[in-house]
Amino acid sequence: MAGLKEDPILGIDGITIKEELEIGKPEIDKSREDHPVLETGGAVIKGESLINNRSVIDKVREEGSCGQVERDMGPPTSNSIHRSGSRPQLDLSKAAIEGTFEERDPTILLPNQSDDISHLALDIGGSLIKLVYFSRHQDRPTTDKRKKTVKERFGISNGNRRSYPILGGRLHFVKFETSKINECLDFISSKQLHCGGMDSHSWHSETSSNGNAVIKATGGGAYKFADLFKERLGVSLDKEDEMDCLVAGANFLLKAIRHEAFTHMEGQKEFVQIDQNDLFPYLLVNIGSGVSMIKVDGDGKFERVSGTNVGGGTYWGLGRLLTKCKSFDELLELSQRGDNRTIDMLVGDIYGGMDYSKIGLSASTIASSFGKTISEKKELTDYRPEDISLSLLRMISYNIGQISYLNALRFGLKRIFFGGFFIRGHAYTMDTISFAVHFWSKGEAQAMFLRHEGFLGVLGAFMSYEKHGLDDLMVHQLVERFPMGAPYTGGKIHGPPLGNLNEKISWMEKFVQKGTEITAPVPMAPPGTTGLGGFEVPSSKGGTLRSDASALNVGVLHLVPTLEVFPQLADPKMYEPNTIDLSDHNELEYWFTVLSEHLSDLVDKAVASEGGTDDAKRRGDAFARAFSAHLARLMEEPAAYGKLGLANLLELREECLREFQFVDVYRSIKQRENEASLAVLPGLLAELDSMTEETRLLTLIEGVLAANIFDWGSRACVELYHKGTIIEIYRMSRNKMQRPWRVDDFDVFKERMLGSGDKKPRPHKRALLFVDNSGADVVLGMLPLARELLQRGTEVVLVANSLPALNDVTAMELPDIVAEAAKHCDILRRAAEAGGLLVDAMINTSDGSKENSSSVPLMVVENGCGSPCIDLRQVSSELAAAAKDADLIILEGMGRALHTNFNARFKCEALKILGKWHSRRQHLASFEVLSSLS
């Protein structure tokens, strides 16, 4: 990747590895060879000739809706597997043992299994209904020879640390107003969430409910509306304890989601990454109608230690009486325009405008909330509702903060997490609580908040389903995405979440027609806003007191169980992928400008990639509006979606493209450039073979740099391309790669490769080559380098994107490129055959199997993402397996070697190589190379 990477990027949405179910250690009863029985710990599955045919199912008969399935397998049996809330059923249709029978613990693949974790859970409160539901990723075929070879060579087990399935998919977070419960029921029904989801193969919409379906629920509404759910959906609500769910949800968020917790002081949000080994104990303060304070000592270990009846219900109740507001949000919006000095008695009011410095109280400190109204002969109607709302908000927030700190002090707790209906992401509320905790603790304790704080209870209810395994997820297995898919404006809900593509497009069109912004309102703070009891609260920076309750705040959590931490990171806890600091306003503004300026060009490419149809144009227009809305939201508050790095920002755009079904915008460009590059590859290989070892090695590195400028997301590359053919530009660029480079460790690398003096060459055992662009970059740059390493006895693993991003090559595209290249090179052919990249039909082989088997392999693995950047805390399991025995890592391109991972340190040797055609102010002019041997 060269240039500015001006056309970013693609997220991980939709990545799926083959979904498998490992049922303990199957034991086969061989007493009946005709119909052996497979014991699976409680479940007995009878199949037809399991030993000989590797088949698990004789036949399946499905009856009823919502997944109640009666299995008739082999001899007739009266046994049937029924749904229950705690024991998910198995969809055994088309089940088969995967792999060879000789495997010790063979994995049973259930291709149609979805009901085991396609759960829905509810938290039905007095004001809001919160839903969490799980949807499966779509299946993707993974039976190709490359996958099989990778599994065998790297020892990737079909099963992992769990004895039950964790399938890839998405956790969705949805809110409805409780008063609109019928909309909620319609939404559940339309998506068939009460029946295992729309991907459940055992769902039949035409039949009535069988009455056995169960949904986990918590909150008072789980009792109040139980009959309504039974009547409308035919399901029973399995009620879970509210406090159990609250704690379980908080623990899950804090352990499984990166950048979930944050502090909020003076309008500034800072994320806190907490080591899950150092999480407990903490104080969880849940502010609903009342307030509960819970000391959490571990998973399932907690105690309610205190509380107060002055909470969110108090604020809303008094506010409704005093201001006539009809909703909680309306009351909060009033507070943002208020001035509490007209109502609160300040220290200065008592001391004639003077401070009480002896005890550290300023003149603007609140001495008594609502105290000024005592001496004034005014009626309620004489006071502004805005001022009343602000005074009330400060009074209640301050007291909650103070009481929370005193309870934390009582138990020696340094961390206090606040959540619940009252906070609702409201910036001023968080500021007020934070200042209270900070003031009374003298900075010893911290108030922290959770981005998904409104979903604590429902997450806990969701996790109460047995054996879907969310309790041991690692932080790297959940990838947060922020799709454009919910009709919210100004923090208010306007109907059920959007479902299909047409609804999303229509919504975006209506937004623009109305001129409505997608962000929450941001009124200005009144001048001279004062503090609250005990200390002074400065107004938020920039003079804004905003609500954080934007619809775009809570994203979809993509569960990718096959993601792992890259094992060659020297210190994973200290690793930060992003090199560029987007907390620097100038950097943020620069990248937002780049993305905005190239948006129209990207839309043109996207529409063209789909044939330029009217439908594609409509989708392209909707994409542009959606992405612009996200940029506007992030420009207003960069931390709205968590800690913002360049990698996240670039992925966001491709995620929006995918939202509107643009899968591979640069597909035709990549195909054209691959063909042109492969046509000139034989001549380049012949040229390299005619050189001495030392000259060839230097030329290869220069060639990687020269080829890396072919980045079709860069305007500079397009302009350069008009000046000559690919091979002419490649040679011209290579000739300009004059040493010394900005970071130049070539001599160290050369000594390792070629030896010097008494030092003999030390070939690497396995090299991971993180490739970048399609076309010249991979064909003329990285493949010749891979070929050189193969000749020296080094196994080579080409690491490529799982999903398209710009013109980056993908792991799915690489085998065909290698196969074409191998037609002109025996070295590549033998290595590709050994690595499972070629099938017999592709290449006419003349070598015997003995020669082929002795060749070191050339392999391809997916990196687990779809971006020009890469976060090495979240890579595919096959890349993690390949990396364990690697002793050389080569990161190529701006995205992978500069924008991310420039500061990364590894356990083995690493080269970071990139060429750059045009520079940015803090980078180099002309070409830039970063080639460092760690």
Element counts in the chain: helices (H) and strands (E): 29, 34
Distance CA 296, CA 550 (A): 29
**Model confidence at 190, in pLDDT bands (50, 70, 90)?**
confident
| Average pLDDT value for the chain | 76
What are the CA-CA distances from residue 853 to residues 668, 791, 847 (Å)? 36, 15, 10
**Model confidence at 33, in pLDDT bands (50, 70, 90)?**
very low
pLDDT digits (tens, 9 = 90+) for 211-268: 568 899 999 999 999 999 999 999 999 999 999 999 999 999 999 888 899 999 988 8
The percent of residues in the chain predicted with pLDDT above 90, rounded, is: 41
Distance CA 819, CA 678 (A): 10
pLDDT for residue 111 is more than 50? no
pLDDT given for residue 715 in this prediction: 55
**Model confidence at 169, in pLDDT bands (50, 70, 90)?**
confident
pLDDT digits (tens, 9 = 90+) for 435-460: 999 988 988 898 999 988 888 999 99
H helix or E strand, kind and range, residue 883: helix 877-883
pLDDT given for residue 484 in this prediction: 58
Distance CA 211, CA 68 (A): 10
CB 134 within 8 A of CB 197: yes
pLDDT given for residue 507 in this prediction: 67
Distance CA 614, CA 634 (A): 30
Q: What does the block give as tokens for 547?
A: 């609500």
**Model confidence at 508, in pLDDT bands (50, 70, 90)?**
confident
Instruction: Please compute the mean of the pLDDT values over residues 848-859 and round it to a whole number.
Output: 66
pLDDT for residue 495 is more than 80? no
Enumerate residues 6+ apart whose C-beta is below 8 A from 358.
none
pLDDT digits (tens, 9 = 90+) for 349-407: 888 878 777 776 777 788 899 999 998 989 999 999 999 999 999 999 999 999 999 99
Q: Count the residues in the chain.
A: 934
Query: Which residues on adjacent β-strands are paired with residue 931?
Result: 744
pLDDT given for residue 148 in this prediction: 76
Distance CA 509, CA 524 (A): 29
Instruction: Please compute the mean of the pLDDT values over residues 51-72 and round it to a whole number.
Output: 35
pLDDT for residue 802 is more than 80? yes
Distance CA 544, CA 796 (A): 55
pLDDT given for residue 52 in this prediction: 34
pLDDT for residue 49 is more than 50? no
**Model confidence at 874, in pLDDT bands (50, 70, 90)?**
very high
**Which of 272-286, 690-704, 910-924 is predicted with the least confidence, judged by mean pLDDT?**
910-924
What are the CA-CA distances from residue 467 to residues 172, 471, 891 (Å)? 19, 9, 39
pLDDT for residue 829 is more than 50? yes
**Which of 105-114, 191-200, 759-768 is predicted with the least confidence, judged by mean pLDDT?**
105-114
**Which of 254-268, 291-305, 544-558, 887-901 is predicted with the least confidence, judged by mean pLDDT?**
544-558
Instruction: Please compute the mean of the pLDDT values over residues 161-190 and round it to a whole number.
Output: 76
pLDDT given for residue 319 in this prediction: 96
Dmax (CA) of the chain: 104
**Which of 29-43, 99-113, 563-577, 737-751 is predicted with the least confidence, judged by mean pLDDT?**
29-43
Distance CA 44, CA 74 (A): 12
**Model confidence at 854, in pLDDT bands (50, 70, 90)?**
low
**Which of 10-19, 58-67, 846-855 is predicted with the least confidence, judged by mean pLDDT?**
10-19
More confident residue, 645 or 840: 645
Instruction: Please compute the mean of the pLDDT values over residues 483-505 and round it to a whole number.
Output: 57
CB 404 within 8 A of CB 437: yes
Nearest C-alpha neighbor of 13 from the set 198, 199, 193, 169: 169
Could you tell me whether strands 282-287 and 291-298 are parallel, antiparallel, or unpaired per DSSP bridges? Answer: antiparallel
Q: What does the block give as tokens for 83?
A: 């749904």
Nearest C-alpha neighbor of 241 from the set 285, 300, 188, 175: 300
CB 582 within 8 A of CB 644: yes
CB 866 within 8 A of CB 802: yes
pLDDT given for residue 291 in this prediction: 95
Nearest C-alpha neighbor of 132 from the set 55, 240, 54, 51: 240
Distance CA 271, CA 43 (A): 45
Using the Cα atoms of residue 509, residue 514, residue 520 and residue 524 in order, give the sign of their dihedral: positive
Nearest C-alpha neighbor of 431 from the set 540, 346, 332, 330: 540
Nearest C-alpha neighbor of 917 from the set 725, 757, 707: 707
pLDDT digits (tens, 9 = 90+) for 626-637: 888 788 878 877
Distance CA 225, CA 678 (A): 66
Secondary structure (3-state) at 518 = coil
Secondary structure (3-state) at 756 = strand
pLDDT for residue 72 is more than 70? no
Distance CA 246, CA 602 (A): 44
Distance CA 561, CA 164 (A): 12
pLDDT given for residue 63 in this prediction: 33
Strands (E), 26-78: 27-29, 37-40, 43-46, 61-62, 69-70
Nearest C-alpha neighbor of 65 from the set 232, 205, 212, 234: 205
What are the CA-CA distances from residue 386 to residues 1, 130, 372, 525 (Å)? 54, 29, 16, 12
More confident residue, 887 or 509: 887
Q: Please state whether 858 falls in left (phi above 0), alpha (psi between -120 and 50) or beta.
A: beta
